């Protein structure tokens, strides 16, 4: 009697090798997807921070250029140490600022609010926060020299533990949720 051997199927060793190869490929794909997610959140955070910084700078420069009058109140200066908070008016817009305060859910957690200027000071009603939730104003100075104003602005979108002493992102774990935007410009008052 002749017995025919049926060699269809896989051995245990072949199954172990194929499972190992598949696991390595799956691990590499997972790592790639995590990196794509981190890069997406980092890009979104940076874009949002830069857009807010540009918007604030545009509001300030337009107020100065077209106000027709000097700023009233205490401008944020580059003194040592800088004033942690203050109010001032430029034209019809009033500004209330607080340095190193993260914008939160309550009205006390603000960084830069605008409102109408009433009798040389910002109105306390209908104030609009200029920064987004989670952002803070790290550096804010306006230096007047004749009809020229030099504005320096540094906005951070991060938890304080992700920032260096100079207000910039440290890097490392959680850095995809940290972004800063620094702008500086000199504006000439057009109307007198």
Residue % of the chain over a pLDDT of 90: 34
What local confidence, expressed as pLDDT, does residue 67 receive? 82
Kindly tell me if the per-residue pLDDT of 33 is higher than 90: yes
CA atoms within 13 A on the CB side of 113: 24
What local confidence, expressed as pLDDT, does residue 80 receive? 67
Q: What is the pLDDT of residues 124-171, one digit of tens each?
A: 888 889 998 889 998 899 988 888 889 999 999 888 778 887 778 887
Q: Determine the Cα–Cα distance for residues 185 and 153; give it in Å rounded to an integer.
A: 9
Which residues are 142's β-sheet partners?
151
Tokens encoding 165:
């002493």
What local confidence, expressed as pLDDT, does residue 189 receive? 82
Q: Determine the Cα–Cα distance for residues 23 and 183; give it in Å rounded to an integer.
A: 48
Residues 18-29 have a mean pLDDT of 96
Residues 82-102 have a mean pLDDT of 88
Contact at 8 Å (CB) between 30 and 38? Answer: no
Contact at 8 Å (CB) between 93 and 116? Answer: yes
Contact at 8 Å (CB) between 78 and 142? Answer: no
Q: How confident is the model at residue 6 (pLDDT cuts 50, 70, 90)?
A: low
Q: Determine the Cα–Cα distance for residues 122 and 2; give it in Å rounded to an integer.
A: 103
Residues 63-86 have a mean pLDDT of 80
Sorted by sequence, the CB contacts under 8 Å of residue 142 that are 6+ apart come out as: 60, 71, 75, 76, 77, 88, 149, 150, 151, 152
Residues 99-106 have a mean pLDDT of 85
Q: Determine the Cα–Cα distance for residues 77 and 82; give it in Å rounded to an integer.
A: 6
Kindly tell me if the per-residue pLDDT of 4 is higher than 90: no
Q: What is the pLDDT of residues 113-125, one digit of tens each?
A: 999 988 888 888 8
**How high is the mean pLDDT of the chain?**
86
Residues 61-69 have a mean pLDDT of 85
Q: How confident is the model at residue 192 (pLDDT cuts 50, 70, 90)?
A: low
Residues 66-95 have a mean pLDDT of 82
Contact at 8 Å (CB) between 133 and 106? Answer: no
Tokens encoding 167:
């207000």
């Amino acid at each position: 009697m002749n017995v025919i051997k049926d060699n269809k199927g896989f051995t245990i060793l072949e199954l172990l090798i194929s499972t190992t190869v598949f696991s390595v490929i799956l691990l590499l794909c997972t790592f790639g997807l995590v990196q794509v997610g981190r890069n997406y959140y980092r890009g979104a955070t940076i874009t949002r921070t830069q857009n807010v910084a540009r918007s604030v700078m545009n509001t300030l420069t337009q107020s100065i250029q077209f106000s027709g009058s000097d700023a009233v109140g205490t401008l944020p200066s580059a003194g040592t140490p800088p004033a942690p908070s203050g109010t001032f008016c430029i034209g019809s817009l009033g500004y209330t600022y607080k340095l190193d305060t993260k914008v939160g859910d309550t009205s006390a957690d603000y960084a830069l609010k605008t409102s109408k200027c009433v009798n040389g000071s910002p109105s306390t009603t209908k104030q609009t926060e200029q920064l987004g939730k989670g952002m803070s104003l790290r550096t804010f100075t306006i230096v007047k020299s004749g009809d020229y104003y030099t504005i320096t602005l540094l906005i951070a979108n991060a938890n304080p533990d992700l920032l260096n002493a100079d207000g910039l992102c440290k890097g490392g774990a959680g850095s995809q949720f940290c972004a800063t935007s620094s702008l500086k410009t000199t504006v000439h008052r057009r109307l007198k």
